[in-house]
Amino acid sequence: MSRPVLTAAAGIAVVVALLPLGYLLIRVTEAGLDRAAAELLTARVGRLAATSLALAAVVTLACTVLGVGSAFLVTRTDLPAARLFAVLAALPLAVPTYIAAFAWVSAVDDFTGFWPSALVLTLCSYPYVFLPVAAALHRADPAQEDVARSLGHHPWRTFRGVTLPQLRPAIAGGALLVALYVLSDFGAVALLRTDTFTRAVFTAFDLGFDLTGALLLSTVLVALTTVLLIGESLTRRRGARYARLGAGARRPHVRIPLGGRRWPAALMLMVAAALALGVPALNLSRRLAAGVSRPGSLTEIATAAGNSLTVSAAGAVLTMLLALPIGLLVARASGPLAAVVERLSYLTHALPGVVIGLSLVFFGVHVAYPLYQTRWLLTLAYAALFLPLAVAAVSAAAAQAPPALDDVARSLGRRPLRVFITITAPLLTPGIAAGAALVFLTCMKELPATLLLRPTGMDTLATELWGHTGVAAYAAAAPYAALLVLLSAVPAWFLAARSGALGPEGNR
């Protein structure tokens, strides 16, 4: 695609991502400066910000350690059952935090507060780090590691000195998604009672139908996001993004023998998987066995599953369509414009779903009324919510299609569009598929925006789950929860496979 077309398309995508910001701006302006000051310049806001940031920091750090550690163990060591652990490390993506938190609360007495929240959020979100890092480890040039080891470096020292720096973009990207996710999460902090900004935003709605107050609080989340984005930008380094293609076939990585630490390492990963997947699974089965309420007919379950699948698939398709130009622009143009465009797409990612939902209500009612309460607007909301996930995937994939390939194709007489269709798009397809899978399963779990924007009468697995747990009908809710997790597990498995952690080394 030519640069102007690409820039224009990226512009449209950014507009979608910034719709919620426009809405916030309108409402906050209406509220006026005095109201804003009264709401925001309080010790409480300071306390909430501190808690939110602390939680984001702790969870991000824990996810980085757990994600990088398991990625390394799975891809670079002689860990037993490495492929199994690769899948297990991706699967927590399929577990919504509200299900995980609920399971923990029911399983452990007094399981509330900051550290329990941090634990549950870590267990649910470390795949955001694991997946990109495993993929980067898989791609990294083994020659450099060979060199380091030939210079007498111990394998571990080689990992720290040579491999880890190459992983920095992957780690930073994953960590950013984790941090933003933690800021926007409501499910875990609500059930585990940690006073974060997002919980305060929800409370402002639920407690007093205080729309203005809730939106004012949300602006602080945008500010916190800006801080995180700047921080992440500072850790980025240019370069080292080209796929290696040149001196012949790639050799496989040498797997480091763990020796006596082989089984303890496996045990550690086993414990992580048990905490992240086993606890929710046990709780679901217990609830199903204990309760007498029953879900609706099979048709109802099938309809909800069908709705979840179609709106999530549509959300994934639209999000990817919008993410493509941004990702390509970032990979092709290294200027400040591309960087700003990419960062902008992240800006509203920490906003709670209910705020995104309301902004789309506003947009639907005032701008796109024919779309209001149709699947289209819900799809648009998913795109606004999850664009960064897709942009990250496309940017990573675009690095696999270096611009030199475009140059060659054009020099052979092919028009830009043809080049895009025959060269760029096929090379991006695996990355696009991975991004789509991630967006898809995130859409499956989404609740607040879905409640606000779904067509009247349309139930998804998530809304059914919410409806049944609302009246303590846990047994009725369990099948929906189980189906939600199982259906999300398919794309999660696909993501694990995509990361290269499952496949034999060096093959396409």
Partner 1 sequence: MTALTVTAACKTYGAVPVLTDVGLSVAAGSLTAVLGPSGCGKTTLLRCVAGLERLDAGQIRVADSVVEGPGTHVPAHRRRVALVPQEGALFPHLSVADNVGYGLDRAQRRSGRIEEVLVLVGLEGYQRRMPHQLSGGQQQRVALARALAPRPRLVLLDEPFSALDAGLRASLRQDVRQALRRDGATAVLVTHDQAEALSLADHVVVMRAGRVVQDGPPTEVYATPTDHWVARFVGDAVLLTGVVRAGHAHTAIGAAPVHADADGEVTVLLRPEQVRITPIGTPTAGQVTGRVLRHDFHGHDTLTVVRLADGTEVQSRRLNDGPVPATGDAVQVSVRGPVRTWPAGPQPRDAGDPAPSRRAGAGHA
Partner 2 sequence: MGPSRTRLALVTALSAAVLSGMAACGDGPASEPGDKKVMLYSGRNEALIKPLLDKFTQQTGIEIEARYGTTAQMAAQLAEEGDRSPAEAFLSQDAGALGAVNKKGLLAPLPPEVGAKVPATYRAQDGNWVGVTARSRVLVHNPTLVKAEELPSSVFDLTDARWKGKVAIAPTNGSFQAFVTGVRLQHGEAKAKEFFTALKANDVQILENNIAIVEAVDAGKVPVGLVNHYYLGEIAKERGTTPDKLNAKLHFFAPGDTGAMVNVSGIGVLRRSGTDPDVRALVDFLLSAEAQTDFAQRTFEYPLVAGAPAPAYVPPLADLKVPAIDLNDLDTLEASIALIKAAGLTP
Binding site for partner 1 (CB under 8 A): 243, 245-250, 402, 404-405, 407-416, 419, 422-423, 426-427, 506, 508
Region from 6-14, 55-63, 162-170, 455-463 binding partner 2, contact rule CB under 8 A = 455-463
Q: Which of partner 1, partner 2, none does residue 257 bind (CB under 5 to 8 Å by kind)?
A: none
**Residue (120 or 170) nearer to partner 2, CB:** 120
Q: Are 454 and 377 in contact (CB under 8 A)?
A: no
Q: Which of partner 1, partner 2, none does residue 313 bind (CB under 5 to 8 Å by kind)?
A: partner 2
Q: List the one residue out of 132, 222, 220, 215 whose CA is nearest residue 177.
A: 132
Radius of gyration of the chain measured on its C-alpha atoms: 23
**Residue (227 or 471) nearer to partner 2, CB:** 471
Q: Is residue 455 close enough to count as binding partner 2 by CB under 8 A?
A: yes
Q: Are 351 and 219 in contact (CB under 8 A)?
A: no
Q: Which of partner 2, partner 1, none does residue 404 bind (CB under 5 to 8 Å by kind)?
A: partner 1
Q: Is residue 200 close enough to count as binding partner 2 by CB under 8 A?
A: yes
Minimum distance of partner 1 from residue 438's CB (angstroms): 22
**Residue (262 or 410) nearer to partner 2, CB:** 410
- Let me know the angle formed at the C-alpha of 472 by 468 and 473, rounded to the nearest 5 degrees: 50
- Cα distance between residue 289 and residue 297, in whole Å: 18
Minimum distance of partner 1 from residue 494's CB (angstroms): 19
Which parts of 222-281 interact with partner 2 (CB under 8 A)? Answer: none
Q: Is residue 111 close enough to count as binding partner 2 by CB under 8 A?
A: no
Q: Are 401 and 407 in contact (CB under 8 A)?
A: no
Handedness of CA 126, 128, 129, 132 (dihedral sign): positive
247-to-143, 405, 420, 504 alpha-carbon distances in Å: 11, 17, 26, 20
Q: Is residue 285 close enough to count as binding partner 2 by CB under 8 A?
A: no
Q: Is residue 338 close enough to count as binding partner 2 by CB under 8 A?
A: no
Query: Please, what's the b/e burial string for 397-411 (b: 16 or more CB within 10 A of its CB; e: otherwise)?
Result: bbbbbbeebbeebee
Q: Which of partner 2, partner 1, none does residue 405 bind (CB under 5 to 8 Å by kind)?
A: partner 1
**Residue (235 or 429) nearer to partner 1, CB:** 429
Reduced to 3 states (helix: H, G, I; strand: E, B; else coil), residue 77 is strand
- Cα distance between residue 467 and residue 445, in whole Å: 14
**Residue (240 or 302) nearer to partner 2, CB:** 302
Site string for partner 2, 39-78 (x = CB under 8 A): -----x---x------------------------------
Q: Which of partner 2, partner 1, none does residue 354 bind (CB under 5 to 8 Å by kind)?
A: partner 2
Residue length of the chain: 508
Q: Is residue 203 close enough to count as binding partner 2 by CB under 8 A?
A: yes
Region from 12-20, 408-416, 472-480, 487-495 binding partner 2, contact rule CB under 8 A = 472-480
Minimum distance of partner 2 from residue 160's CB (angstroms): 38
- Cα distance between residue 170 and residue 349, in whole Å: 18
Q: List the one residue out of 491, 333, 330, 442 whose CA is nearest residue 397.
A: 330
Q: Which residues contact 327 (CB under 8 A, 6 or more apart)?
A: 390, 391, 393, 394, 395, 397, 398, 428
Q: Is residue 195 close enough to count as binding partner 2 by CB under 8 A?
A: yes
Q: Which of partner 1, partner 2, none does residue 274 bind (CB under 5 to 8 Å by kind)?
A: none
**Residue (199 or 349) nearer to partner 2, CB:** 199
Other residues' Cβ atoms within 10 Å of the Cβ of residue 266: 18
Q: Which residues contact 351 (CB under 8 A, 6 or more apart)?
A: 20, 184, 218, 221, 222
Residues that bind partner 2 (CB under 8 A): 44, 48, 105, 109-110, 190-191, 193, 195-196, 199-200, 202-211, 214, 290-293, 310-311, 313-314, 317, 354, 357-358, 361-362, 365-366, 369, 372-376, 379, 421-422, 425-426, 429, 432-433, 448, 451-452, 455-457, 463, 467-468, 470-476
